[in-house]
Amino acid sequence: MAMMDLKVYLKDRKRLVDQALETALPPPERPPERLHEAMRYAMFAGGKRLRPVLAIAGAEAVGGTARDALPVALAVECIHTYSLVHDDLPMMDDDDMRRGVPSCHKAFDDAVAILVGDSLMTLAFELLADAALARRVGGLGLSAIIREVSVAAGTTGMTGGQAVDLASQGKDVDAETLLYLHRCKTGALLSASVVAGAMAAGASPESLLALREFGDKLGLAFQIVDDILDVMGNVEILGKPAGSDRRNGKATYPKVFGLSESRRQASRLIEEANAALALFGDSARVLRGVADYVLTERINRANSLPRVFEAERIRKTA
Ligand code: IPE
Ligand code: IPE
Ligand code: MG
Ligand code: MG
Ligand code: MG
């Protein structure tokens, strides 16, 4: 898919998702006003809406429509946004900016930010309990979707990865632990977005298997790129200042493998992700385009920033 077409597609799907989120989130004038206002603040601060786009593109790859995937798309964005609000808290990564504005706990306070996370997480499952979706996929289909999303968000997925991420701070982790924590904290939800989106469109078991492989590879590559950008990027690319990982002594790909090898691994994963889509033909062109976009777009922008000698960057990361 040509980059221009992809950009138009992404903009269009993002608009659809944002409109639906606008009605899905409680109105700010309804009590408790401050909590509702903070939920909206975190949600509408920006964000690429990559996970909802993947849910929609997953549905489209198996012959479904954006409408089919919408409850899944909204649910995964609620879970993702909650994870960011908690991730930024002082007792976690202690980041003061997110999506280009003060983090939720900075604009409000820590207790409100904790409740925003709790509320977005529960809202995600309220949105999955969608009557039209249940009618379309049946009781078993819906329970499979709910299971897919909740497993990815829980201790074998996102929260588990976050726990290992925190426990690894300041330590020398081996490559296996690093792989495990990246797959859990970020890969799991990204992968579940594609898979559950396709489930909502009645995908076959073979399609789901291929999409899961695609999502797993893409999800891991995505966190590797996130780590690379925390070294190479800037506030305009990241929506927050670079260098958070180094400050926190995080276990990252650049720290363990260096920048060049991290980049090589990310591009190999994207190639493998795309190879997993072989059985889909043209219906998966958006998924292929998104995979390339994830890898290249922000890295290219970071590459065009004033260059620091690479060895210096790696030394600073270590
Ligand atoms: C950032 O995710 C956190 C990770 C899980 C790597 P995104 O880069 O998708 O953040 P937004 O949603 O665009 O703000
Ligand atoms: C995020 O990892 C994983 C989450 C589940 C939130 P990071 O801590 O690297 O994400 P950023 O860099 O703060 O967005
Ligand atoms: Mg973190
Ligand atoms: Mg963080
Ligand atoms: Mg990061």
User: Does the structure show a pLDDT above 90 at 18?
Assistant: yes
Stretch 231-239: mean pLDDT: 93
**pLDDT value for 51:** 98
Among candidate residues 220, 78, 87, 253, the one with its CA nearest the CA of residue 162? 87
User: Which residues crowd ion ligand 3, with CB under 5 Å?
Assistant: 87, 93
**pLDDT value for 285:** 94
Rounded to the nearest angstrom, the distance between the alpha carbon of 206 and the centre of ligand 4 is: 35
Query: Please, which pLDDT band fits residue 223 given cuts at 50, 70 and 90?
Result: very high
Stretch 95-110: mean pLDDT: 98
* Tens digit of each residue's pLDDT (9 = 90 or more) over 181-193: 999 999 999 999 9
Q: Whose CA is nearest to atom 10 of ligand 1?
A: 47
Stretch 170-195: mean pLDDT: 98
* Tens digit of each residue's pLDDT (9 = 90 or more) over 42-56: 999 999 999 999 999
Q: For ligand 2, say whether the CB of 87 is within 6 Å of any of its atoms.
A: yes
**pLDDT value for 294:** 80
Ligand with smallest separation from the Cα of 86? 2
Rounded to the nearest angstrom, the distance between the alpha carbon of 29 and the centre of ligand 1 is: 28
Q: Give the mutation target among 80, 86, 159, 299 for probing the ligand 1 site: most ligand atoms within 8 A of CB.
A: 80
Stretch 117-134: mean pLDDT: 98
Ligand 1 atom at shortest distance from the alpha carbon of 51: 9
User: Does the structure show a pLDDT above 90 at 101?
Assistant: yes
**pLDDT value for 304:** 87
Query: Please, which pLDDT band fits residue 27 given cuts at 50, 70 and 90?
Result: very high
User: Does the structure show a pLDDT above 80 at 266?
Assistant: yes
Mean pLDDT value across the chain: 95
Taking the C-alpha atoms of residue 106 and residue 219, their distance in angstroms, rounded to an integer, is 29
Token representation of residue 226: 């996130």
Please report the DSSP string for 127-175 in residue order: HHS-HHHHHHHHHHHHHHHHHHHHHHHSTTSHHHHHHHHHHTTTS---H
**pLDDT value for 226:** 97
pTM: 0.95
Token representation of residue 115: 């409740």
Rounded to the nearest angstrom, the distance between the alpha carbon of 80 and the centre of ligand 2 is: 10
Q: Give the mutation target among 41, 48, 181 for probing the ligand 1 site: most ligand atoms within 8 A of CB.
A: 48
Q: What is the CA radius of gyration of the chain?
A: 19
User: Does the structure show a pLDDT above 70 at 315?
Assistant: no
**pLDDT value for 316:** 54
**pLDDT value for 307:** 63
Query: Please, which pLDDT band fits residue 313 given cuts at 50, 70 and 90?
Result: low
Rounded to the nearest angstrom, the distance between the alpha carbon of 31 and the centre of ligand 4 is: 30
Query: Please, which pLDDT band fits residue 308 given cuts at 50, 70 and 90?
Result: low
Query: Please, which pLDDT band fits residue 317 given cuts at 50, 70 and 90?
Result: low
Q: Which phi-psi region, left, alpha or beta, contains residue 64 (left: φ > 0; alpha: ψ -120 to 50)? A: beta
Q: Give the mutation target among 83, 84, 220, 246 for probing the ligand 2 site: most ligand atoms within 8 A of CB.
A: 84
Ligand 2 atom at shortest distance from the alpha carbon of 252: 9
Rounded to the nearest angstrom, the distance between the alpha carbon of 141 and the centre of ligand 2 is: 31
Token representation of residue 40: 């909206």
* Tens digit of each residue's pLDDT (9 = 90 or more) over 147-167: 999 999 999 999 999 999 999
